[in-house]
């Protein structure tokens, strides 16, 4: 389903709260995270201002990618957002 790739940013096993990854990324002068699904793969991106910020963020980022806490509530949020973003805000 389009948009479902972003569900990994709703939390992870070690960081179960939505927005933690972006909050920490912004501290490292990142311009945020992103995800998209193509016909044959899903891509997850992040950028930082330097090597130190990247190395500090990498374990947290990998925890979100490898161990996401995908919940029913998170799925409903993204389904509603994909259909009509005004439904969720």
pLDDT tens track for 60-75: 889 988 998 877 877 7
Q: State which residues of the chain have pLDDT below 50.
A: none
Q: What is the pTM of this model?
A: 0.69
The predicted structure's pLDDT at residue 33: 78
Using the structure block, give the residue that is written with the tokens 């990498």: 58
Find the angle CA(37)-CA(40)-CA(32) to the nearest 5 degrees. 30
Q: What would the two tokens of residue 18 be?
A: 């939505």
Say which residues have a Cβ less than 8 Å from residue 58's Cβ, sequence separation at least 6: none
């Amino acid at each position: 389903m389009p948009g479902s790739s972003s569900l990994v940013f709703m939390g992870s096993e070690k960081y179960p709260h939505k927005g933690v990854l972006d909050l920490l990324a912004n501290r490292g002068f990142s311009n945020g995270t992103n995800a998209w699904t193509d016909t044959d793969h899903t891509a997850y991106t992040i950028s930082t201002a330097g090597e130190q910020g990247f190395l500090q963020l990498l374990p947290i980022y990998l925890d979100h990618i490898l161990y996401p806490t995908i919940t029913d509530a998170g799925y409903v949020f993204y389904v509603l957002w994909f259909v009509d973003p005004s439904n969720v805000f």
